[in-house]
Amino acid sequence: MFKVYEEIARASLADELPDRKTCKWILSDQGADLLPLLQAAYVPREKYFGRSVMVHLLNNIQNGLCPEDCGYCAQSKNSSANIRKYPIKPEEEILEEAERAARAGATRYCMVLSGRGPSTRTVRKLASTIKKVKQALPIEVCLSAGLLGDEQAAILAEAGLDRLNHNLNTSESHYPSICSTHTFQDRVNTLLAARRHGVEPCSGLIVGMGETSDDLIDVALKLRELEVPSIPVNFLIPIEGNPVQGSGALNPESCLRALVMLRLINPRAEIRISAGREGHLRGLGALALWPANSLFIEGYLTTKGDAATETYEMIRDAGFEIEGNSLFKDDRTNEKRSGFRVSGSDGEILKPEIRAS
């Protein structure tokens, strides 16, 4: 590694904050060279997480019908996106899907509800479901349910909830251009309530909503200030019918640079490659495992993603290991595999057709 990249890695290991000029140089495609930058970000990643990859599986347990106006979200009141809307799923279904997540190798099962925030009655119902999952399965449970206060956070903490997600999404100054029905501070308050009651906060962002480099740096710094241990990094999926469509400026390299910046500012956090991984990182998806140590399998809230088998193949081929859980036997860990897979034909070797003359 060149000296400047070595210095970046050293500073990150020492928990020293990179200055704004360095962050901008990392984010600019006219700035740092990508490969040594990824290697520099890998140094803290490797120190805190080795070569392991944590796998999360989302369950959108309540979809649509939201009175809020988050412009990037297909479930908001201002979106005309064609999505299936449904109230909270029956508990039996949520429990079955938790078991499926555990058997598929997920370390964490993330239940997500649309809406501004749940009533205390709904929180009590969720608490009961969380207890059942925790008793039955070797999987951590996360919840994303909108804005919550102390009373609700206390109920969820008592039920054994491992993490409460509420994304900051962008910087405080950019926030009014993506949402007007609640504020950046409302979101911060939810994270603080979780922390006060002993539930780990999880909070991240969406890259590609017309923000500047300064906005990206600001939200990364805020997550550091809040000592958020889990940071999902989404890349905007421009869904037809949503008010926020982004500038279309994202490409695999800009996504990797954003992940590197997030890792260097938050060296100890679980950095998760989230929505938009497949569509924006495309052929460079495996390189994202150098700064990031976590990802989702099998899709996101309203969009599909790669299947677990494909994602696991990418992880193994890049030399990383799936963290999994005690129900999941990854008997292919570190396996040196070779062979050729014919794509588009389910593995069948296509033979030239012989025509009768």
Residues 65-84 touching ligand SF4, rule: CB under 6 A, are 66, 68, 70, 73, 75-76
Torsion of CA 170, 173, 176, 181, to 10 degrees: 80
Nearest to 115 by CA among 66, 156, 169: 66
Residue-wise DSSP of 211-273? --HHHHHHHHHHHHHTT-SEEEEEE----TT-S----S---HHHHHHHHHHHHHHSTTSEEEE
CB of 252 to ligand SF4, least distance (A): 26
For ligand SF4, which is the closer residue by CB, 188 or 315?
188
Is the alpha carbon torsion for 12, 16, 215, 143 positive or negative?
A: positive
The amino acid present at 279, given as its one-letter code, is G
CB of 41 to ligand SF4, least distance (A): 28
| DSSP element (H, E) containing 53 | strand 52-62
- Cβ(256)–Cβ(284) below 8 Å: yes
CB of 40 to ligand SF4, least distance (A): 33
CB of 218 to ligand SF4, least distance (A): 20
Q: How many residues bind ligand SF4 (CB under 6 A)?
A: 10
Residues 101-140 touching ligand SF4, rule: CB under 6 A, are 114-116
The amino acid present at 307, given as its one-letter code, is A
Would you give the binding string for ligand SF4 spanning residues 9-38, x where CB under 6 A is met? Answer: ------------------------------
Regarding 85 and contact with ligand SF4 (CB under 6 A), the answer is: no
For ligand SF4, which is the closer residue by CB, 67 or 138?
67
Among 146, 276, 285, 305, binds ligand SF4 (CB under 6 A): 146
Q: Distance between the two ends of the chain, CA-based, in angstroms?
A: 63
For ligand SF4, which is the closer residue by CB, 65 or 307?
65
CB of 117 to ligand SF4, least distance (A): 8
CB of 181 to ligand SF4, least distance (A): 8
CB of 343 to ligand SF4, least distance (A): 35
For 156, half-sphere exposure in the C-beta direction (CA atoms, 13 angstrom radius) is 33
Rounded distance between C-alpha atoms, residue 41 and residue 6, angstroms: 10
Rounded distance between C-alpha atoms, residue 332 and residue 324, angstroms: 12
219 CB burial (10 A radius; 0-12, 13-18, 19+) = buried
Residue 350's CB is within 10 A of a number of other CB atoms, namely 8
CB of 74 to ligand SF4, least distance (A): 8
Regarding 232 and contact with ligand SF4 (CB under 6 A), the answer is: no
Residues 47-66 touching ligand SF4, rule: CB under 6 A, are 66
Binding site for ligand SF4 (CB under 6 A): 66, 68, 70, 73, 75-76, 114-116, 146
